[in-house]
Amino acid sequence: MRALKGVSFDLEVGEVHALLGENGAGKSTLIKVITGAHRADGGGMEIEGEMISDLTPAKAMELGIACIYQQPALFPDLSVAENIGLRLEKTGIFARVKWAARRRRAADLLERIGAEISTDAEVRTLSMPEQQLVEIACALGAGARIMIMDEPTASLTQKEQHLLFKVVRNLRESGVGVVYISHRLEEIFALADRVTVLRDGESVGTNAVGDLTEAQMIRLMVGREVEAIYPLAEGKPGEMVLSVKGLGCKEGGIQDVSLGVRAGEIVGLAGLVGAGRTELARVLFGITPADEGKIFLNRKEVKIRSPREAISHGVAYVPEDRRKHGVILEMAISANMVMASHGKWFPGGLLNFGAETEAAQKFIRDLGIKASGPDAPGGSLSGGNQQKVSVARWLATEPKLLILDEPTQGVDVGAKGEIHRIIRELSKQGLAVLMISSDLPEVLGMSDRVAVMREGQLADVLDGKDANAHTVMALALGSEEVTG
Amino acid sequence: MKIYSRELTVGGALVLLLASLAIFAPNFFEGQPFISRLASQMPALVVAIGVALVIMTRQIDISIGSQLGMCAVIAGTAAGAGMPMGVAILCSLAAGALMGATNGFLVAHLKLPSIVVTLATMVIWQEVLRLWQKGRLLALPDGVQWFGMSQGAGQAAVIGIALVLLVGAAWAMKNISAGRRIYATGSDAEAARLAGINPKAVTFGTFVMMGVLTGLAAVLNLVQSPQIQPNCGDGLELKAIAAAVVGGVAISGGRGTLWGVLLGMMLLANVNPALTYFHQPPYWEKAIQGMVILLAVGADGLRRWSGAKGHVS
């Protein structure tokens, strides 16, 4: 699969150029190509009229290309001056450290971007935006002419954002070209001179920011038809299985979420990365328990304070990162499948290998899992099949509510269709399904209703027939304008 | 299900060692000395079972040597005060459980690193023993040695208890839900938690189990002599951990079997007697044991290394 196909992009001296696109539109890949982390297999790149070939990260740095990531990569136990010094000073192992010069340079760089940070402060004591400023100072000290900022405001408060905006404007005035990536339209209007929209790995237009309205930007981002064929719902959804009222959790950063899911219904949970979708799932599963609001399961109010309690109430959660927290790679898939339902399979705690193998074989058959057998270790399966094992583990608990977090992420196209079919099949059998997905066509194609989250809150819940790429994206981005 | 490659190699090495002893020094297997030697290795085996469980949950316990000393002195003092043998044994087990629970609480609930916690408790118990006993030997009353039985019956009891325990624990690790929880927690604590397992409870439980087994090992140790030294457990932690590691228990948690631990313990413990029977200077014992550990772990490293070169993930 090609992540990028035919992207054109240019950046002028002293310009802030915004890059806009949905999750997976190719923004990150483009950055990786520009910074030399990935190699372009077509096209070329020029800096000040000079053709650049065979770009490597080191060469990109030399050319003055710097990238400021969301999570600064600094040494938390060292001071600001030491961090900047480590990045910029090229000396031998036994060279003496010139402390005064090191501090002076750090102070000078921080002053140039307008940051008020002590050079002796330990980095761990700095706030996230202050750490980003240190990164920017490093980049400036290294002679960066092109600075790429990847969603720099994603984890910042309003006040912190303004500080960062000030610095970005300072950079622009000093002649640095800034590539600014953000999901937040209001930031783009506030900060950028021009905007390039990416969609499905292609650039679909570069415009001066003043020439576009929010609605036009959104249309550029999503303008495509839902291509794949999704299994259709049949019949009416049944009883309300899950209903939450005013749910909030400080640790997860979500607040005031009210939502219901019925038996036999698939509710898609859409939103941008960081909008709080996974966090909501983690609250419902008791990983980070709610600190306000109510959860009702089958119309009875319940408290869910741990995954154990969630399981006992009939909630199942197939997590996002199955490699990390889904399938235990060293264990046989049969053991993986019964892992969450030992109490049901093995009352009294004595394992029954016959029952286990039989159950595993049934799941392997039903879900079409490709494995050498129930004894195959989880790690020996492909991604899509591991995902199915993860699903099987939760079906084995006989849940009432199944929460799926990015069920087809990193799964090949064939397995994807099969997983969709399985999800629909389960919902037909009366399971309530809450499906988190960043894949917009998947959300639109699979969901009976679409709940859209934005900045930790539920923006709105759309009926399947009202949900389309425009309405969902407009909600996810928080656009005021009515689109459609 | 799995290929028990480590168990097979270590078992092979053990068979090789015993076979060459059988050929070149057949008196190794003769009568009383053989039984005495076997009985004296049992306390370390019991401790190794416990520490293997701890390592399987991706923790470590290096306080077990001084824990054993504490348990032995407590049991010895209880017996010396005229309490019946059964009560003295219970005292030892309870003391072990309490010390294990201390480690377990600090590691599982306060999330402190187990190497630091057990380093601290190791030193603390050692110092408590030093201040309490001032290095004195503690003489045991009659009726404690060999549980008040003849030496032969006592030795048989010691060996029997340890082996029954090993077989039971090995069976349980495979066949009881709790065993699988230990493996799951050690493989991936977060995944285990998401599957409804309580990794804190599992970790705490294994440390308590470790303590109880140390208490039992202390009893199996003290019945073999007429008096006990307060420092009788010194160095035991390293022996037990080495046995577990050689036997294939992955220090990164989640993998290994207690059968492997038995083989590892037998292999390491027989290095010294084998040297004696082959008429070699006993100074080589530690060096050879070190080499066995390196060989066992090095084999894994080599396999991973060649595997990593083979395919890019």
Q: Supply the pLDDT for residue A381.
A: 85
pLDDT of A129 higher than 90: no
Please choose, from the candidates A295, A278, A224, A285, the residue with its C-alpha nearest in 3D space to the C-alpha of residue A435. A278
Q: Does A251 share its domain with A180?
A: no
Of A164, A188, A222, which residue constitutes the final position of a domain?
A: A222
- Residue spans of alpha helices (H) in B223-283: 236-246, 258-269, 271-277
- Angstrom distance (rounded) from CA A471 to CA B286: 73
- Angstrom distance (rounded) from CA B192 to CA B172: 19
- Angstrom distance (rounded) from CA A257 to CA A451: 10
Domain-located, residue A322: yes
pLDDT of B139 higher than 50: yes
Q: Which percentage of chain A shows pLDDT scores above 90?
A: 37
A411 sits in the region (left: phi over 0; alpha: psi -120 to 50; else beta) called beta
Tell me which amino acid residue A169 is.
R
Read off the CATH number of the domain in which A153 is found: 3.40.50.300
Nearest CB to A351; choose among B176, B184, B194: B176
Bridge partners, A80 (sequence order): none
Residue entry with tokens 């090495």: B13
Q: Which residues of B touch A324 (CB under 8 A)?
A: 188, 190-191
* Strands annotated E in B187-234: 227-228
Are A290 and A302 in contact by the 8 Å Cβ rule? The answer is no
* Angle at which helices B64-80 and B199-222 cross, to 10°: 50
Q: Which residues of B touch A317 (CB under 8 A)?
A: 194
Q: Which of A24-28, A145-149, A438-442, B15-19 shows the lowest per-residue confidence on average (mean pLDDT)?
A: A24-28
- Angstrom distance (rounded) from CA A157 to CA A8: 33
Q: Supply the pLDDT for residue A226.
A: 44
Q: Supply the pLDDT for residue A1.
A: 45
Q: Supply the pLDDT for residue B239.
A: 93
Domain-located, residue A247: yes
Quickly state the pLDDT bin for A228 (edges 50, 70, 90).
low
Tokens of A95: 């060279």
pTM to 2 decimals?
Answer: 0.78
Contact B187 A330 (CB under 8 A): yes
Quickly state the pLDDT bin for B310 (edges 50, 70, 90).
very low
Q: Does A302 share its domain with A248?
A: yes
Contact A307 B191 (CB under 8 A): no
- Angstrom distance (rounded) from CA A392 to CA A337: 6
Are B261 and B247 in contact by the 8 Å Cβ rule? The answer is yes
Task: Tally the domains of chain A.
Answer: 2
Q: Based on the number of CB atoms within 10 Å of its own CB, is B105 exposed (0-12), middle (13-18) or buried (19 or more)? A: middle
- For an interface test with B, give the residue of A330, A380, A404 to mutate (most B CBs within 10 A): A330
Please choose, from the candidates A379, A383, A448, A372, the residue with its C-alpha nearest in 3D space to the C-alpha of residue A413. A383
- Angstrom distance (rounded) from CA B9 to CA B263: 10
SS3 A429: coil
pLDDT of B98 higher than 90: yes
- Mean pLDDT, chain B, integer: 91
Least Cα separation, residue B261 to chain A (angstroms)? 19
Q: Does A312 share its domain with A378?
A: yes
- Mean pLDDT, chain A, integer: 86
Contact A328 B192 (CB under 8 A): yes
pLDDT of B193 higher than 80: yes
Mean pLDDT of A310-316: 93
Domains in chain B with CATH codes? 5-20+39-299 (1.10.3470)
Are A317 and A284 in contact by the 8 Å Cβ rule? The answer is yes
Q: Which residues of A touch B2 (CB under 8 A)?
A: 377
Contact B194 A307 (CB under 8 A): yes
- Angstrom distance (rounded) from CA A313 to CA A306: 11
Q: How many CB atoms lie within 10 A of CB A93?
A: 4
Q: Which residues of B touch A308 (CB under 8 A)?
A: 196, 198
Domain-located, residue A1: no
Q: Does A471 share its domain with A354?
A: yes
Residue of A nearest to B256 (CA): A330
Are B213 and B47 in contact by the 8 Å Cβ rule? The answer is yes
Nearest CB to B176; choose among A306, A327, A350: A350
Domain-located, residue A89: yes
Residue of A nearest to B181 (CA): A339
Are A329 and A376 in contact by the 8 Å Cβ rule? The answer is no
The phi, psi pair for A265, rounded to 5°, reads: -120, 140
Residue of A nearest to B253 (CA): A330
Contact B175 A351 (CB under 8 A): yes
In chain B, which residues touch A (CB < 8 A)? 1-2, 174-178, 180-181, 183-184, 187-188, 190-198, 254-255
Question: What DSSP letter does each residue of A355-397 carry, written as one string?
Answer: HHHHHHHHHHHHTT---S-TTSBGGGS-HHHHHHHHHHHHHTT
CA atoms within 13 A on the CB side of B311: 1
Q: Based on the number of CB atoms within 10 Å of its own CB, is B139 exposed (0-12), middle (13-18) or buried (19 or more)? A: exposed
Domain-located, residue A263: yes
Quickly state the pLDDT bin for B308 (edges 50, 70, 90).
low
Mean pLDDT of A68-96: 84
Least Cα separation, residue B200 to chain A (angstroms)? 12
Contact B190 A324 (CB under 8 A): yes
CA A357 from centre of chain: 36
Are A332 and A389 in contact by the 8 Å Cβ rule? The answer is no
Least Cα separation, residue A269 to chain B (angstroms)? 20
Q: Supply the pLDDT for residue B124.
A: 97
Q: Give the structural domain span for A351.
A: 240-477
Contact A339 B180 (CB under 8 A): yes
Are B162 and B46 in contact by the 8 Å Cβ rule? The answer is yes
pLDDT of A185 higher than 60: yes
Are A319 and A325 in contact by the 8 Å Cβ rule? The answer is yes
Q: Does A338 share its domain with A435?
A: yes
Tell me which amino acid residue A465 is.
K
Please choose, from the candidates A395, A401, A466, A472, the residue with its C-alpha nearest in 3D space to the C-alpha of residue A433. A401
Are B63 and B237 in contact by the 8 Å Cβ rule? The answer is yes
CA A84 from centre of chain: 29
Tell me which amino acid residue B268 is.
L
Q: Does A248 share its domain with A216?
A: no
Q: Which residues of A touch B253 (CB under 8 A)?
A: none
- Angstrom distance (rounded) from CA A176 to CA A143: 10
Q: Does A321 share its domain with A360?
A: yes
CA angle B213, B215, B218 (to 5 degrees): 110
Domain-located, residue A11: no
Contact B177 A339 (CB under 8 A): no
In chain A, which residues touch B (CB < 8 A)? 285, 287, 306-308, 310-311, 317, 319, 324-332, 335, 339-340, 342, 346, 349-351, 375, 377, 393
Strands A45-47 and A50-52: antiparallel
Of A190, A222, A254, which residue constitutes the final position of a domain?
A: A222
CB pairs under 8 A between A and B: 65
Q: Does A250 share its domain with A205?
A: no
Q: Supply the pLDDT for residue B80.
A: 92
Mean pLDDT of A256-261: 94
Q: Which of B103-107, B130-134, B201-205 shows the lowest per-residue confidence on average (mean pLDDT)?
A: B130-134
Q: Which helix (H) or strand (E) holds A354?
A: helix A353-366
> In degrees to the nearest 10, what's the CA dihedral of A78, A81, A87, A92?
-90
Mean pLDDT of A237-254: 90
Q: Does A126 share its domain with A36?
A: yes
Please choose, from the candidates A72, A209, A215, the residue with its C-alpha nearest in 3D space to the C-alpha of residue A151. A72
Q: How many CB atoms lie within 10 A of CB A124?
A: 11
Domain-located, residue A97: yes
SS3 A139: helix
pLDDT of A437 higher than 80: yes
Mean pLDDT of A300-307: 93
Please choose, from the candidates B90, B46, B53, the residue with its C-alpha nearest in 3D space to the C-alpha of residue B71. B90
Q: Does A116 share its domain with A254?
A: no
Of A222, A255, A275, which residue constitutes the final position of a domain?
A: A222
pLDDT of A231 higher than 80: no
Q: Supply the pLDDT for residue A442.
A: 87
Q: Does A44 share its domain with A184?
A: yes
Least Cα separation, residue B129 to chain A (angstroms)? 39
- Angstrom distance (rounded) from CA B273 to CA B33: 10
Domain-located, residue A178: yes
Sheet hosting strand A240-249, strand order edge to edge: A254-262, A240-249, A292-297, A300-302
Mean pLDDT of B171-186: 93
- For an interface test with A, give the residue of B4, B182, B194 to mutate (most A CBs within 10 A): B194
The phi, psi pair for B20, rounded to 5°, reads: -70, -35
- Angstrom distance (rounded) from CA A443 to CA A266: 10
Q: Supply the pLDDT for residue B311.
A: 41
Q: Supply the pLDDT for residue A477.
A: 85
Mean pLDDT of A199-212: 87
Q: Does A216 share its domain with A302?
A: no
Q: Which residues of A touch B190 (CB under 8 A)?
A: 324-325
Strands A292-297 and A202-208: unpaired
Q: Supply the pLDDT for residue A142.
A: 87
Q: Which residues of A touch B178 (CB under 8 A)?
A: 349
Q: Supply the pLDDT for residue B1.
A: 38
SS3 B294: helix
